[in-house]
Amino acid sequence: MRKIETLRARIAALQVERAALLRQKRNRAQVVDAIGDLVQHWAAEGADLVARELQRAAEGGPPDPLRIRTELGPLFAALLGADAVRAALLAGIEAIPVGLDATDRADKLVTLGVELDRLEKDEERLCEAEGIDRRPDARPEIVLA
């Protein structure tokens, strides 16, 4: 493989890796925690709502606790239990990449940026020296440095 192709393949791979890192702002554990916190909140909210409906029934209102005007989350948590709702919501969690914590992610983004700068500068030097067409998405700050 020509040197330019090797370089460009490496650049493309790093760009994909960086894009994935930029996209994934929470790692898998943080997603689990966030869902857990949300379900906990729903459970408390749902319990309050059901309690109020029961109280209303006790006070002579229509005995219809399911007539809860709310989001589905608190209702499901109240009816099925927080653990069941959490488990159902997290059934597909394996599909989420394990990811990095915030510090490691920031460090990795810096490392990738430095490596990309280096490779793209090498690429630009090669284009210049050998008269190779530049990529249409070559970074102007590298090409015109």
* Nearest CB to other proteins, comparing residues 59 and 141: 141
Binding stretches for other proteins (CB under 8 A): 133-138, 140-141, 143-145
* Nearest CB to other proteins, comparing residues 28 and 139: 139
**3-state helix/strand/coil string of 1-51:** CCHHHHHHHHHHHHHHHHHHHHHCCCCHHHHHHHHHHHHHHHHHHHHHHHH
Beta carbon of residue 145, minimum distance to other proteins (angstroms, whole number): 7
Which single residue is written with the structure tokens 């606790």?
65
Question: What's the start-to-end Cα distance of the chain, in Å?
Answer: 27
Beta carbon of residue 127, minimum distance to other proteins (angstroms, whole number): 10
* Nearest CB to other proteins, comparing residues 83 and 128: 128
Distant-in-sequence, close-in-space partners of 22: CB < 8 Å, separation ≥ 6: 109
Q: Do the beta carbons of residue 49 and residue 66 sit within 8 Å?
A: no
Beta carbon of residue 103, minimum distance to other proteins (angstroms, whole number): 32
* Nearest CB to other proteins, comparing residues 51 and 145: 145
Beta carbon of residue 144, minimum distance to other proteins (angstroms, whole number): 5
